[in-house]
Structure 1
Amino acid sequence: MTAVDLPAAPRVLIAEADPWPRDLLKQVLLSVRCDAQLEICADGHEALELLNEQAFDLVIADWELPGVDGLSLLRGLRQKKRNPPLPFILVGARNDVASVREILPLHPTAYLTKPLSMESLTQRLQDLLLDAGQAVSCEVPALGPGMSLEKFLEHRRGESDGAPLMADVQMAVNRSLNPGDLDLKALEQDVRTDPQITAVLIAAANSAAQHHGSGVQTLAQALQRLGVAQSMNLILGLTLKRSARLSDAALGDYAERYWDLSLHTAEYGYSLARLLDLDPERCYCAGLLHRLGDLALLRCLQEWLSAGGELDDELIGESLHALGASFGSALRTRWRLPLELRELIAAVYQLGGGVYSREALVMNLAAQLARLTPHEGVEDIAKGRTARLLKVGLPELVRLRKN
């Protein structure tokens, strides 16, 4: 059944302060009703204004909203005595008896506790927005009149969803179906080679909602802070997004090359850091993420193709050369990746003036090794400035190449 066979597209308000749960709610909802008309806000006062100005078919709100909390929004709506009551899903971290007693008299459609269960959320949304046996599919929106590739990419740079998924995350997805088998170490091994998952989990772990402790700079630290359930929900949310996998063969080939370079840089960074008694996980992470922008750009080129645009190998290469670096910078800034991690990523490309940390030198040297072809030796690298500053000689570099 298609969207035209369904009732009018539902209008839905999502009010959630934390950007990562907010994005997850959006993706799950769109996976159920891709035609839904969404209003999304991060503040209770804005949510209240929207509720006073517009009619909605469903509200999803976090209890801990700043300004006006979700429970107050629900209370205000119930005082209006609308018949039938407006469906309202309240989301919160509280699961004690007193909190539940406070909620029940206001008759929420559902109260879902964090970390959210995607299965429960999806089922609730299907019950509310679809009749039994119904499904909805939507065409990819066509490009607007006069839209050029340059304009499209400039627009997408500020709001892209990041890189496509590169690693096979099916093992992690399968584990999520058997929660008893989930553990942080196994999950880390399943996803540690994927730049997109690594970046998103680090960004989520450093969000305002996770405001305790020092900044998170590695995948292991992010998993520890978020926990298995929340991490798995974020990963599953990424799989729901459009162009999560590249379907065009040429774009896929480019992505594999950048991913391979990222992995080699990460592995060299890890090995060098261990050799020099530095932080190997942080160096691995910096190497893995240094081509995030190029991968994100390739994903946007897939969106361009899916929307009816034309593309050839020359345009792909020109776009990557012109915008790959700026896509990466925009993503790292928008996702608020820690400055220290961003500095290590920058060192992969070049060393600036002044004093360098030893880890920055490690990443620069790792990149030099990763860029070598199989037939090139390491003699010139051993003579170079970075290797000399680190006091890493030719024998160590030769051993690294062999491992």
Structure 2
Amino acid sequence: MRVMIVDPDRWLAQLLRQLAESLREDVKVEVFASGEAAERAWRRQPPQLLICGWQLADMDGLSLIARLRQSGAPVPVLLLGERGDRASVLAARRLAVDAFVVKPFRVPRLVEVLRQLLGSAAHEPPAAAGPQDPAAAGGFLGYLAGLGDAALDLPLLRDLRAGLDDLDREPPPGVPELVQRWGHDPALVARLIAVSNNSWYNPNGVVCTTLAEAIIRLGWLNCINIAASMTLRRASELQDPLLAARAAAELERCERVGEHAERLARQCGADPSPCHTAALLHRLGELCVLFHAQAWKNREGECDESLLDRALAQYARPFAERLKSHWGLPMALRELIAAIYGFGDMSIGKREKYVMRLAGGLVHGGMSEEEEARLRRLAGLPPAARRVAEAAVVAPLAGSASPEPQDAGPAATTAAQAEDGLAPGSGQAVEQAVEQATAADSPEREGE
């Protein structure tokens, strides 16, 4: 069944696509931003359902519907209007519109309207059987290879769906409550931030990099609609125990990087909020592969652990890059995510980038002591806490065979200041203490 969506709001169109695809498995959706492009596609082959916005890129929706009606094709029409006044309703009625929904709408109401329209639409005759699907022929890896950018998606945390009904209320939930409930879900956080940076919601080009900023910009009802639409996707939750366990491990890594990043950012006076967001989103590629592994299992049922490992090694990184680009995550946030792995130009940049590389190294490894020390200096952070503590003990030992415990008191105080980010002169005093004990310093790697 073919569904045509005509609306310049890219994210609204994607929401509508998700709703239609969740209601019928045989739906094939075409999306157009302009009336002219939609009309050309209509002339080639009318769809079985038209969903049209009131304001299009090149004309108003009523004019497009009037022109399409001239073809004589009995296609049901859903019109999404900006106003629900009597004049707008009468204008829609004159064109024999089958359903008229006023924005902002609630997803459950729109789902009911779509269910009726999809059920009443004329069915296409089944296509003749063709050759085997190349993706199916290539197994799970072939399926992943055939995914387009628009198909890439992420799994949701299991408790998201249950909490949505409680949030759709009057008075609406406040921003702190929504951040508390949603702030640990990479899929929803990434989607809301991406939508809030879309030109439709961000005409002035002010970059949004945190969940709280996104909620304020979009409004609570838009946010709840986006969340609700995501819960309707097939494979939105990972039901397979292996996939669920892998996702939990990835989320745990995100939390650990986030904890280190926030602490280090506060110590050096950087903004911890975008650092937390970048940490939460730095495993999007792995989560994307897991989402599609669940979709494949729902479809074919064959994906063992060794095959999953191959898929993660081959597709996690390219899927992450494609997903961030297609969704339109802001470049500032993408640079912070890249810094976690040491990608990009780390020689110059804001302190947040150095903080993210440090946090990533502490969790994922791959960072030498020399790189760690350099990044700490660039970020204005004191030396690693354990190395400072070692310097405090080793310095007296260099001049005395049996030092008294209190001899390390001043140096130990400096070490405590360093751990709390309170060392005078942005850590210079601590660096001097370390330099005095360099000859006796242990090479052991710090573990934050």
TM-score range, shorter chain: 0.7 to 0.9
Counterpart residue number, 1:94? 83
- Contact 1:143–1:307 (8 Å) recurs in 2: no
- Alpha-carbon deviation of 1:335? 1.0
Higher normalized contact order (CA 8 Å, seq sep 6+, divided by chain length): 1
Residue 424 of structure 2 corresponds to none
1:43 aligns with 2:34: yes
Letter of the structure 1 residue corresponding to residue 357 of structure 2: N
* Aligned pairs (5 A) from 1:249-268: 249-268=241-260
Whether contact under 8 Å (1:171, 1:190) holds in the other structure is no
Q: 1:287 aligns with which of 259, 279, 282?
A: 279
Contact 2:4 2:29 in 1 (8 A): yes
**Structure 2: which amino acid aligns with 1:336?**
G
1:392 corresponds to which of 382, 401, 421: 382
Q: Deviations over 1:367-389 (max 9, x none)?
A: 233347xxxxx996996332233
Alignment of 1:22 with 2:13, yes or no, is yes
**SS where residue 295 of structure 1 aligns?**
helix
Find out whether 1:182 has 2:166 as its counterpart: no
Choose which of 184, 208, 212 in structure 2 pairs with 1:216: 208
Aligned in 2, Cα 1:78/1:159: closer, same or farther, shift over 3 Å? Answer: closer
Residue of structure 2 in register with 1:66 after alignment: 57
Between 1:55-64 and 1:153-162, the stretch displaced more is 153-162
Question: What does residue 270 of structure 1 align with?
Answer: 262
| Contact 1:11/1:36 (<8 A) preserved | yes
After TM superposition, the structure 1 = structure 2 runs for residues 76-155 of structure 1, keeping only pairs within 5 Å, are 76-78=67-69, 86-95=75-84, 98-130=87-119, 144=135, 146-155=137-146
Does residue 158 of structure 2 align to residue 158 of structure 1?
no
Output the CA distance in 2 between the equivalents of 1:289 and 1:197: 10
Match of 1:6 in 2: none
Amino acid in the other structure paired with 2:295:
E
| Conserved 8 A contact 2:6-2:38 | yes
Deviations for 1:111-151, whole angstroms, at most 9, x for unmatched residues?
Answer: 222222212211212333337xxxxxxxxx98755224333
Per-residue CA shift, 1:291-317, capped at 9, x if unaligned? 011110111222222222532222222
Q: 1:47: Cα distance to partner?
A: 1.2
Deviation at 1:62, TM superposition (A): 0.9
1:338 aligned onto 2:330: yes
Change (3 A) 1:187 1:37: same
**CA–CA distance in 1 between the matches of 2:306 and 2:75?**
53
Q: Which amino acid aligns with 2:280?
A: L
How has the CA–CA distance of structure 1 residues 385 and 46 changed in structure 2, closer, same or farther, with 3 Å as cutoff?
A: same
Q: How high is the TM-score relative to the length of structure 1?
A: 0.84
Cross-structure match for 1:361:
354
Kept after mapping to 1: 8 A contact 2:134/2:142? no
| Aligned counterparts of 2:360 and 2:307: Cα–Cα separation in 1 | 26
Displacement of 1:96 in angstroms is 5.0
Q: Normalized against structure 2, the TM-score is what? A: 0.76
Give the secondary structure class of the aligned counterpart of 1:290.
coil
CA distance, structure 2, for counterparts of residue 180 and residue 357 of structure 1: 40
Question: Which residue among 288, 294, 310 is the counterpart of 1:296?
Answer: 288
- Tell me the equivalent position of 1:198: 189
Structure 2 counterpart of 1:129, which letter?
L
Which region of structure 1 is more displaced relative to structure 2, 202-211 or 50-59?
50-59
Equivalent-residue separation in structure 2 for 1:392 and 1:167 (angstroms): 40
Distance (Å, rounded) in 2 between the aligned partners of 1:180 and 1:366: 39
List gaps (5 residues or longer) in structure 1: 1-9, 132-140, 373-377
Q: What is the CA–CA distance in structure 1 between the aligned matches of 2:289 and 2:148, rounded to whole Å?
A: 8
Contact 1:157 1:330 in 2 (8 A): no
Could you say if the C-alpha distance between residues 155 and 307 of structure 1 is closer, same or farther in structure 2, counting changes exceeding 3 Å?
A: same
CA distance in 2, matches of 1:356, 1:144: 42
Task: Pick one of 321, 325, 339 that aligns with 2:313.
Answer: 321
Counterpart secondary structure, 1:208: coil
Alpha-carbon distance in structure 1 between the residues aligned to 2:201 and 2:68? 30
- For structure 2, list consecutive stretches of 5 or more residues without a partner in the other structure: 121-131, 386-415, 422-445
The percentage of aligned residue pairs carrying the same residue is: 31
Distance 1:19 1:130, change over 3 A: same
- Which letter maps to 1:12? V
Against the structure 1 CA distance between its residues 144 and 382, is the aligned structure 2 distance closer, same or farther, given a 3 Å change threshold?
A: closer
Q: Name the CA distance, whole Å, in 2 between partners of 1:357 and 1:294.
A: 27
Amino acid at match of 1:211: N
User: Aligned partners of 2:3, 2:197: CA distance in 1, in Å?
Assistant: 28
Three-state SS of the structure 2 residue aligned to 1:90 is strand
Residues 196 and 214 in structure 2, CA contact (< 8 A), matched pair in contact too: yes
Partners of 1:382 and 1:49 in 2: how far apart? 58
SS in 1 for 2:219: helix
Could you tell me how far 1:354 is from its partner in structure 2? 2.7
d(CA) in 2 for partners of 1:231, 1:95: 21
CA contact (8 A) 2:358 2:372 kept: no
Q: Please say if residues 90 and 111 of structure 1, whose CA atoms lie closer than 8 Å, have aligned partners that are also in contact.
A: yes
Match for 2:377: what amino acid?
A: R
